Amino acid sequence: MAALQRVIQKMLFIMVVMYQKALSRFLPARCRFYPSCSAYAKEAFQKHYLLTSIFLVSKRLLKCHPMCNGGYDPVPEKKS
């Protein structure tokens, strides 16, 4: 099960990298946060387990909208 989670996590990480390299350069910068939502997603997938990463990235994407002020919002450290 853990191996499958790592494979899925790696696939999601690669999808974010592909988005950054292929699509984001053609879109205007709209993220209201630092780091950007895609950079946040990459870091979350590297630091946390799959379900935690998905939760953190989903929460971040839901916060990133025109009515939000944004600002500095780092990926939380992994709890020991």
pLDDT surpasses 90 at 12: yes
Q: Please, are residues 80 and 41 in contact by the beta-carbon 8 Å criterion?
A: no
Question: pTM for the complete prediction?
Answer: 0.88
61 part of a folded domain: yes
pLDDT number for residue 14: 94
Separation of alpha carbons 22 and 39, rounded Å: 14
Total structural domains in the chain? 1
Task: Tell whether 41 is covered by a domain.
Answer: yes
Asked, for residue 6, whether it belongs to a domain, the answer is: yes
The answer to whether residue 79 sits within a structural domain is no
Range of the domain at 30: 2-72
Q: State residue 42 phi and psi, 5-degree precision.
A: -60, -45
Look at residue 43 and tell me if it is in a domain.
yes
**Do the domain assignments include residue 30?**
yes
Segment 49-56 long-range contacts (CB within 8 Å, at least 24 positions apart): 49/5, 49/9, 50/5, 50/6, 50/8, 50/9, 53/9, 53/12, 54/12
**pLDDT over threshold 80, residue 1:** no
80 in any annotated domain: no
| Residue 42, in any domain of the structure | yes
pLDDT in tens, 33-76: 999 999 999 999 999 999 999 999 999 999 988 888 889 999 99
**Which residue in this structure is represented by tokens 């939000």?**
68
Answer with the residue of higher pLDDT: 51 or 26. 51
